[in-house]
Chains A and B, each alone.
Chain A
Amino acid sequence: MKTTGILWRLASFAVAAGFVALWQLIANFKLVSPVFLPGPDRAWASLVRGFSSGDLLAKLAGTVEHMAYGWLAASIAGIALGAVIGSSPRMRTYVAPSLEFLRPLPVSAIIPVAIAMLGLTQAMALFVIAFGAIWPIMLATIHGFAAVEPRLYEVARSLQMSKLAVIFKIALPSASPDILAGMRLSLTVALILAVVCEILAGLDGLGHWVLLSARAFRSADLFAGVILLGVTGYVTSVAMSLAEHRLLAWQASQR
């Protein structure tokens, strides 16, 4: 059982290594011009150079910061709003049509509005990222709060629990699987929007780095930035699933 798991893991690494080897071959045989496509060797060298000089680290920190602040703001606001809307059927009927109108709105359409109102500032980036990332969280929270077993509310009533206790001991834990799933989706949205905002507003971050590298035909630096963005997305999503696994340990017993 355990050895097959390790074998699968090894196989998946082999596939990844295969892709890198293919990339190296394409670059070596110059199937694509080196101006546009550096080999993994050059991208790696650029990555190392960027980190040793500290440039890339600063850009990475910038992107992670944008992403984290926007995502946290979206999480707090999304869970709070979702809880209010989800726990009242009347609220749901009133607000649902507006939400249905706002939700499918491409966030990129909001960016010019945000720039017009807030300028090319960090505040603008924070607003855009939070606005984009709030939807999956809020909708998941609404669903989670609306789906709380009514019997549990009756239990709470017969125990004469306070409103606050009902929210924190019944509704929130009951909705937590939905909420965490929403937060995981939002993480990706936050990363995408962080990069977009950096590109559009010239804010310090990997998005900006990638844009400048491309304009200067520094393809190795460009790829170093892209790789780093990929790693950021991967690491945050792994961290998120670890957190989910820990917080939802009780669910494992239900399967």
Chain B
Amino acid sequence: MKAQVKAQVKAQGTANAQRQFDPVAGHPTPQVAFADVTLDLGGKTIIENLSLGVQPAEFLCIVGASGCGKTTALRLAAGLYQPTRGKVTFDGQPMREPRREIAIVFQDYGKALLPWRTAAGNVSLALEAGGMPAAERPARIEELLRTVGLPGHAGKYPAEMSGGMQQRLQIARCLAQEPKTLLMDEPFGALDAMTRQGLQDEVLSLVAASGVTVIFVTHDLDEAIYLGDRVIGLLPHPGRIGIELPVNLPRPRDQLSTREHPEFLRLRRQLFDFIKATEQ
């Protein structure tokens, strides 16, 4: 099994020699790895022969036309789906079920939060699940809410908060899991442009501070390039990798200068052409 993963990683390494996170040289074992994964759901093949390695602390973005299986790939990484063939591994171990080291931020924050718990209570859910003693929770909750920019909102119910605030709250709950990998499924898809840009930068600084690995699914190509160390474009029916682009843009990224960087524009052009081609 290990040999299989290694072979797959090596194959990818040669395909992308200039990648920022070289799997062979830097990290012998990817944190999250898909080895020849196929998933059939309801008689249809959603994902076919997907092989992918995500290095620790890497920020990987997955883009693709709608229905290409990007959310499904994320759910496989979360352990919410089991592959029909092939293997999904985390730190070299096969994923049989979801685990606490992998947190997932859902797009529909309104459904993923407990409406009967306050902001503090929602964060507390993850701490309770992690077995933190009740006495230690309030301080940690306050810290986490401050981290995501929600200080002073601890007593509010989700319904009393704006969409952006609810998504921050969901991120706080995911951070409370102390994840090694953060999976984000179009987390800002339902938010307005200003809120979205603010949250992009906050996620980037959170990730930089914690060193967490991120797999970020989005349909917004600019967002993918802006955030990622690497962008993968999926081809639809069935979902498989169509393009893989390392993003060699300097960090920290900046909403204005990064988006005007010639490299950004080049990547943007390349991705747009790819997506256009898949839609025909």
Main secondary structure of the interface of A (DSSP, over half): helix
Interface residue A102 (Cβ < 8 Å from any Cβ of B): no
Residues of B within 8 A of A (CB): 78-80, 97-100, 102-104, 106, 108, 111-112, 114-117, 125-126, 128-130, 157, 159-160, 177
Do B111 and A160 touch across chains, with their CB atoms under 8 A apart? no
A176 to B116, CA, bound (A): 10
Q: What residue of chain A has the Cβ atom nearest to residue B112's Cβ?
A: A151
Do A159 and B125 touch across chains, with their CB atoms under 8 A apart? yes
Given contacts A157-B97, A158-B78, contact A152 B112 (CB under 8 A): yes
A154 to B113, CA, bound (A): 11
A217 to B254, CA, bound (A): 91
Interface residue A8 (Cβ < 8 Å from any Cβ of B): no
Main secondary structure of the interface of B (DSSP, over half): loop
A90-112 contacts to B, CB under 8 A, are none
Do B108 and A151 touch across chains, with their CB atoms under 8 A apart? yes
A152 to B108, CA, bound (A): 11
Interface residue A21 (Cβ < 8 Å from any Cβ of B): no
A228 to B106, CA, bound (A): 55
| 26 residue pairs A–B, Cβ–Cβ below 8 Å | A149-B111, A151-B108, A152-B112, A154-B80, A154-B104, A155-B106, A155-B112, A157-B97, A158-B78, A158-B100, A158-B103, A158-B104, A159-B125, A159-B126, A159-B177, A160-B98, A160-B99, A160-B129, A165-B128, A169-B125, A173-B117, A174-B116, A250-B157, A251-B115, A253-B157, A254-B115
Q: What would 20 more interface pairs be, CB under 8 Å, given A154-B106, A250-B116?
A: A149-B111, A152-B114, A154-B98, A154-B112, A155-B106, A157-B79, A158-B80, A158-B99, A158-B102, A158-B103, A158-B104, A158-B177, A159-B125, A170-B114, A173-B116, A174-B116, A176-B116, A250-B157, A254-B157, A254-B159
A147-200 contacts to B, CB under 8 A, are 149, 151-152, 154-155, 157-161, 165, 169-170, 173-174, 176
A114 to B129, CA, bound (A): 46
For A, the interface residue count at a CB cutoff of 8 angstroms equals 20
Residues of B within 8 A of A149 (CB): 111
Q: What residue of chain B has the Cβ atom nearest to residue A170's Cβ?
A: B114
A152 to B78, CA, bound (A): 15
Q: What residue of chain A has the Cβ atom nearest to residue B122's Cβ?
A: A155
Q: Chain A CB within 10 Å — which of B98, B112, B116, B130 has the most?
A: B116
Do B111 and A151 touch across chains, with their CB atoms under 8 A apart? yes
